[in-house]
A and B are shown apart, each in its own frame.
Chain A
Amino acid sequence: MRVLMFGWEFPPHITGGLGTACFGMTKGLAKNGVEVLFVVPKAHGDEDQTSVRLLNASDVTVDIDHETERSYWDRVQYMEIGSNIIPYVGPEQYATMFEEQRHATRGFHSSVFAPRYEFSGKYGANLMEEVARYALIGSSLATQYDFDVIHAHDWLTYSAGIAAKETTGKPLVVHMHATEFDRSGENINTDVYAIEKRGMEAADLVITVSDWTRNIVIEKYGINPDKVITVHNAVEPSDKSLDEYERSGLKNKVVTFLGRITYQKGPEYFVEAANKILQVDPSIHFVMAGTGDLLQKMIKRVAQLKIGANFHFTGFLKGNDVDQMFAMTDVFVMPSISEPFGIVPLEAMRLKVPVVISKQSGVSEVVEHALKVDFWDINGLADAIYGLCKYKAVNDIFRKEGKEEVDNLKWEYAAKKIKNVYELAINKN
């Protein structure tokens, strides 16, 4: 079986969970004997005139020395389409960022807070235009290759998926990693909503990353429940041990939030819970790792609460720094307001870090050894964090059992379910 897959980010150039998920998923599919043609939009600073690059395994900077990785690359072809599409950015933000970069002056550069996107200047200043361009190139690409099914990840690629389906008549599976309601609350961008809805309606089957997301898709988009199937994300097992990393230099417990600092992730609740805990135990330290449009607001709030000596910001972390952060963490917290899945707690558990997660997350459906609270319940959140910091017994159990639990959530199994969906879609067609 061969699948044409449209994504929008791929390791190592990732800004969030989707790239990691796609990587794990394609690996899992390869193990299940599925071949993947992976297409991503990407703007390089030094592009040539061809808009599509077909990449060999050697061009992708992931670890391919591994024997299993090699067999993986035999089954995966990876293509990049020149484009400015940026993950996790809505049309309005895209326009602002584009303007900002145009006006960027020296002296405003912040060294601590990283990710800056480089617009190559070759493409449009409008995200919707880019989506359309991606669709156009994607559909012409579809006619040049042979495959059995099309798989599109999130709204940015749905138009490409639909176009490919129309030109080739192959079945389409769309994958909802996040809905517009997760990203924006109730104030949704209606254009994005429309694309999501159209994508799911045009698809033969819809995969959602959790039942939480499945419910949103059915209730808020009116998609026929019969064609929506939940396949929970998984996590790559890691042979890494925290012993390789430096432990925290603080003599006290460290509680960490790690993610984009945006509405969806509920950073406010973390700050408020930290404040409550510090009233009781002023020795605990809190870290907010990541960046996002609410960062300044969070800094201001921390200063206003006068807890700056116990509440730290690291800016955006990636690669080794993430694991380094986990190595210094005693409790990991994900207070998301609406989290379709949420892979970061699994990464923490994999490294034996106990976690507190919100009930409004997909990941809470699959893990048992985590404390689960409602995101809005600041007292409950504070209680759970405090308990894991203070009571050794529960902490020990979570570290041990949590790791075991996560090690059994393999992409290989999740990919098998995805393969079943493909088969269903092909037969349906």
Chain B
Amino acid sequence: MRNLCFYFQVHQPYRLRTYRFFDIGKRHFYYDDYNNRITMQRVADKCYIPMNKLMLKKIEELGNKMKFAISFSGTGIEQMEVYAPYALESFKKLVATGNVEVLAETYSHSVASLMNKEAFKMEVAEHKRLMKEIFNVRPKTFHNTELIYSNEIGADVAEMGFDLILTEGAKHVLGWKSPNYLYVNAINPKLKVMLRNWKMSDEITLKFAHETFKVDDFINWLNSLPKEEEIVNIFVDYETFGEALDASTGIFEFMKYLPDAILKNTDFKLVTPHQIVEKLQPMGVFDAPIPLSCRDEERDLSNWMGNDMQDDALATLYGCFKEVKASKDEELMRDWRALQAAENFAAMCTKHQGGTPYDYYINYMNVLTDFINRMK
């Protein structure tokens, strides 16, 4: 039997309010509460609740044959606790079945792994603590923000005690190799590396909205894979179901029939990532000297860093890590986490059409100035 592994990301960042120069030093509240609340509640109603219900039903029907993984960001959980506690309850129920592996990640969906090792470790430690508190689990598999990965990041993750990491099966790194095998980190071979099959993952997120994509298409594709390939990893945002792809597209029906069809019509079974490490032997080294991600055609970091605004904002933010840490102030720590969200830097990206990267930078820097000012 070959292995098919589904893993999902559940995440919401804190959206910032319009924070003007005049607010600096006077008002220390940075968030657009209204927007954060309605977004969380909309996503809970359209996606989390119906999708959890569906997955729970599949687990009831298929028992131990129905397995998958979820990665929760800390900021997502925090907001769910406040704005949609009913959704959090439903996730707890799902995790309690034992059929769902909870992954480790950064607390704030941050790019700390690229900026400051100590800050990165703190992010991971805080996330670990939260997973224990909310779901009473100890994640063993690590997944970094937007699948950002390099040999060094892998080595850091191994140092933190993980033996498996998930990242993007980026073509420019893989070359002729297939993503459908287990690999190891180039610096520390104790860390196993599992790769996202982006072609098939994108098929679900992108193609589904525009053309007909049926359960049969997916099954045919699985059956067309070379028989020796051992594992296929499908990784999509949980918000794809019902939020990004509206229920009217038929995405819920697709997910309802897909597990049965896989089990019945292919030689694949559904597994969680960590089951793989226990079972499979790695096929070689996944060598990524330059950081990669799962974003854009380039699969590089340009969504978050590289332009002057992003670099200034990141350098300023991580430049005050020592002070934040030394402060031991819980309120500062909360804001520090929210300000780290990768979305802040993606909003300053000038590669794409639309958006207001300049306004965003100004606003973010005003907030950051106040934040730094509070520590003086």
Which residues in A have some Cβ–Cβ distance to B below 8 Å?
107-108, 110-113, 246, 248-251, 285, 287, 295-296, 299-300, 302-304, 306-314, 321, 324-325, 328
A108-B354 contact, Cβ under 8 Å, with A285-B369, A299-B362, A312-B369: yes
The verdict on B365 contacting chain A, using a C-beta distance below 8 Å, is yes
A287 CA / B21 CA spacing, docked (Å) = 8
Known: A107-B354, A306-B315, A312-B366. 8 other contacts (CB 8 A): A110-B359, A111-B359, A112-B18, A251-B373, A303-B312, A308-B316, A309-B312, A312-B24
**B10 at the A interface (CB under 8 A):** no
A108–B357 Cα distance when bound, in Å, is 11
Are B358 and A299 in contact, with the CB atoms below 8 A?
yes
Evaluate contact between B376 and A306: CB separation under 8 angstroms: no
Kindly state the separation between the CA atoms of A246 and B24 in the bound complex, as whole angstroms: 11
The distance in angstroms between the C-alpha atoms of A303 and B365, with both chains bound, is 10
Q: Which B residues are in CB contact (< 8 Å) with A314?
A: 20-22
Contacting residues, chain B, for A325 (C-beta < 8 A):
22
**Which residues in window 268-319 of B have CB below 8 A to A?**
307-309, 311-313, 315-316
Number of residue pairs across A and B with beta carbons under 8 Å? Answer: 88
**When chains A and B are docked, how far (Å) is the Cα of A320 from the Cα of B193?**
59
| 13 A–B contacts from the bound complex (CB under 8 Å) | A110-B359, A112-B363, A246-B26, A249-B26, A296-B358, A300-B308, A304-B308, A306-B311, A306-B315, A307-B312, A310-B369, A311-B365, A312-B24
Q: Does B368 belong to the interface (CB within 8 Å)?
A: yes
In the complex, which residues of chain B have a beta carbon less than 8 angstroms from the beta carbon of A287? 21
List of A residues within 8 angstroms of B20 by Cβ? 112, 314
User: Is the CB–CB distance between B362 and A309 below 8 Å?
Assistant: no
Say yes or no: A308 contacts B23, CB within 8 Å: no
Residues from chain B with a CB closer than 8 A to the CB of A328 are 21-22
A112-B362 contact in complex given A303-B309, A309-B368, C-beta closer than 8 Å: yes
Count, chain B residues at interface, CB 8 A: 31
Chain B positions 344-364 with a Cβ under 8 Å from a chain A Cβ: 354, 356, 358-359, 361-363
**A250-B25, A303-B312, A314-B20 are contacts. A308–B365 as well, Cβ < 8 Å?**
yes
Chain A residue contacts of B356, Cβ below 8 A: 108, 110
Contact B22 A246 (CB under 8 A): yes
CB distance A251 to B25 under 8 Å?
yes
CB-CB nearest in chain A for B350: A300
How far, in whole Å, are A304 and B358 apart by their CA atoms in the complex? 13
Taking the complex as formed, is B174 at the interface, i.e. its CB lies under 8 A from any CB of chain A? no
Docked Cα-Cα span, A328 to B22, in Å, equals 8
CB contacts (< 8 Å) of B23 on chain A: these are 249
Q: Which of B23, B309, B362 has the most CB of A within 10 A?
A: B362
A303 touches B369 (CB 8 A): no
> In the assembled complex, which residues on chain B have CB atoms less than 8 Å from the CB atom of A311?
365
| CB atoms of B372 and A309 under 8 A apart | yes
Query: Quick check: B312 and A249 within 8 Å, CB to CB?
Result: no
Give the CA-CA distance A308 to B361 in the complex, in Å: 9
- 10 shortest interchain CB distances as A-B pairs: A249-B25, A303-B308, A249-B26, A303-B309, A304-B308, A308-B365, A308-B312, A312-B21, A303-B312, A309-B316
Contact partners of A312 in chain B: CB under 8 A: 21, 24, 362, 365-366, 369
The complex places the Cα of A250 from the Cα of B359 at a distance, in Å, of: 21
A287: nearest chain-B partner, CB-CB: B21
Distance in Å from the Cβ of B35 to the closest Cβ of chain A?
A: 13
Tell me which residues across on chain A come within 8 A of B25, comparing CB atoms.
248-251
Q: CB-nearest residue of chain A relative to B356? A: A110
Return chain A residues, CB-CB under 8 Å to B359. Answer: 110-113
Distance A107 CA – B356 CA, assembled complex (angstroms):
9
Residue numbers in B under 8 Å from A251 (CB-CB): 25, 373, 376
A309, B358: Cβ atoms closer than 8 Å: no
Q: How far is the CB of B315 from chain A (nearest CB, A)?
A: 6
Contact among A108, A313, A324 with B362 in the assembled complex (CB-CB below 8 Å)? A313
Asked if A249 and B24 sit within 8 Å, CB to CB, the answer is: yes
A contact residues around B315 at 8 Å (CB):
306
Residue of A nearest to B320 (CB): A309
Instruction: A296 to B357: give the CA distance in the assembly, Å.
Output: 10
Determine the distance from Cα of A287 to Cα of B362 in the docked complex, in whole angstroms.
11
Inter-chain contacts of A296 with B (CB < 8 A):
358
List B residues 45-68 near A (Cβ within 8 Å): none
Nearest residue (CB) in B for A245 is B22
Chain B proximity of A287: nearest CB distance (Å): 6
